[in-house]
Copies of this chain bind each other. A is one copy, B any other.
């Protein structure tokens, strides 16, 4: 046990100091028993969370299928979300019109990590149908994250294209990542991935709130805003019809 470094010295008497360290050890032993109870409590709570994660899953899946029937649902969520809109470049928004499904999957033991799956319609930017960013945060290994490599189509690599242009995002906040695909491909700091955490803990539990009401007030700039709105209207909606029974 560490030597007491407390500021209030009760006495200089050696005998009493020894006595005190004995009592401190008894307190410590008691504290260890409390800690053991805390650990058991955490384990039990984890089990409950696992159980309810399983129960939630079919509803999340059902929700995902219904959401698919609304064109541009997820890109709208991103645009309406204060922090995430801050990393959305105009051409990335364009590209994310093809995002039909977003999924967050916690690993079975919850504690060790999670993955975010982005499912895309055929699009003019890349070949992938699914991009996955996966976080391994368990205590048995070094934290790490991986992302499915993006198979960009000829001349459509947004990371390269954006590098050659001046950065153009009126909603830009002071965030670590400049653009969405910069965030997606960057796996240098898996422990403090603010965007991934927002997707997992804020968007995923209830995305609808951001569809209905934007989280941000954007200053209207007549010309440019009209341009933006046109972008949302022209995308290939036909391709996004996945047989929803309301159509």
Chain A interface residues toward B at CB < 8 A: 1-11, 19-20, 22-24, 26-28, 30-31, 33-34, 37-38, 40-41, 44-45, 48-49, 51-52, 55-56, 59-60, 62-63, 66-67, 69-72, 75-76, 79-80, 205-206, 208, 211-214, 218, 228-229, 232-233, 237, 244, 246-247
Q: Considering the chains assembled together, what is the distance between the CA atoms of A44 and B47 in angstroms?
A: 11
The 8 Å CB contact of A214, one of B7, B9, B206, B218, is B7
Report A142 CB to chain B, min CB distance, Å. 28
Interface centre among A5, A28, A59 (most CB of B within 10 A): A59
**In contact, A31 and B208 (Cβ under 8 angstroms):** yes
13 A-B pairs within 8 Å (CB atoms) are namely: A2-B212, A6-B80, A7-B80, A7-B218, A8-B229, A27-B70, A31-B63, A34-B59, A37-B56, A38-B52, A41-B52, A45-B49, A48-B48
**In contact, B52 and A8 (Cβ under 8 angstroms):** no
**In contact, B5 and A212 (Cβ under 8 angstroms):** yes
**In contact, A4 and B34 (Cβ under 8 angstroms):** no
Report A245 CB to chain B, min CB distance, Å. 11
Which single residue of chain B is at the shortest CB-CB distance from A60?
B34
The 8 Å CB contact of A79, one of B8, B28, B37, B218, is B8
**In contact, B56 and A19 (Cβ under 8 angstroms):** no
Specify which chain B residues have a CB less than 8 angstroms from the CB of A23 in the assembled complex: 66, 69-70, 244, 246
Which single residue of chain B is at the shortest CB-CB distance from A247?
B19
The 8 Å CB contact of A211, one of B24, B214, B246, is B24
Given contacts A7-B80, A69-B23, A229-B9, contact A2 B41 (CB under 8 A): no
